[in-house]
Chains A and B, each alone.
Chain A
C-alpha cells in the first residue's frame, strides 16, 4: 500500500483480555516504531525494530506488552491481561533507513499510521 496501515482502527477490550494490534509498514521500510499516545498527551516511544530484530524495547511499560516482527515486515503489538491504564491510541511508524545508514536526515523520516484506539472497560 501507499502508506502505513494499522488494524483494527478501534478495539474495545474487557479488563483482563488479551489484545493484538497489527501494523503494516510501507513496503521496503527497514525500521518500525511503536508509540503509545494517552488521551491529551503526545506519543511516547514503546519499541523499535530493524527488520525482524527488536533493537530497543526500553519503552514497553510492563512485561504484559510484547511486540514482534517475525519476517521483517508486518508487526504485531500484543498486550496481555489488559488494564484500564492501557487505554490509549497505539501508533506505528516506519522509516526507510537502517541504523547504520549514512544517508541524509530525510531518510530517517518516520511515516505514521492512523493508529489503533484501544479502550479497556
Chain B
C-alpha cells in the first residue's frame, strides 16, 4: 500500500521569507502523481501544485515550487515570499496513475505566517 509521511506537524515563517515543507512517500509503482494541497480554516481543499513522476523537471507555480527526488521518494514544497494568506494546513498527496484513482494524503503540516 502507498503511504505518505509529513514529519513536520507545525511550521512557522516570517512574512516575505521562504519556508520548505517536507514530504516522503512509499510506493512500488513507477507511474504516479504527487500533489500539495492547501486547506484553510474554511476546509476547502485547494490544489497548490502537481508533479508527474515521469517528469524530471520540478514543478513551479508562481511562489510555490517543489523539490522532487524520485529515488529518495521525497517531495518537498518551497514557498517563497510568504504571505499572510499562505497560513493554512498543507497536505502532501499521492495518486497512482491508473485511471481515476483516489488520493492518498499525509497527516498535514500547519503553517503559520508571522507578520
Contacts and interface: CB of A to CB of B under 8 A. Distances in A.
A95 to B, nearest CB: 6
A42 B9 CA distance: 11
A44 interface: yes
Could you say which interface size class chain A belongs to?
20 to 34
A109 B99 CA distance: 11
A42 B102 contact: no
Given A42-B108, A105-B33, A110 B103 contact: yes
A28 to B, nearest CB: 15
Contacts of B52: 105
Interface string A71-88: 000000000000000000
A42 B105 contact: yes
Contacts of A110: 103
A97 B100 contact: yes
Nearest to B95: A108
Interface string A91-121: 1010101111100011011101111010000
Contacts of A109: 47, 50
Interface residues of B, number: 23
A44 B46 CA distance: 16
Contacts of A91: 43, 45
A112 B102 contact: no
Nearest to B4: A42
A42 B43 contact: no
22 contacts: A31-B100, A33-B102, A35-B103, A41-B108, A42-B91, A42-B105, A42-B106, A42-B107, A45-B102, A45-B103, A45-B104, A48-B102, A50-B100, A56-B102, A91-B43, A93-B45, A99-B100, A100-B99, A109-B47, A112-B45, A113-B44, A114-B42
Closest 6 A-B residue pairs measured CB to CB?
A42-B105, A99-B99, A112-B45, A45-B102, A115-B43, A99-B100
Interface of A: 31, 33, 35, 40-45, 48, 50, 56, 59, 89, 91, 93, 95, 97-101, 105-106, 108-110, 112-115, 117
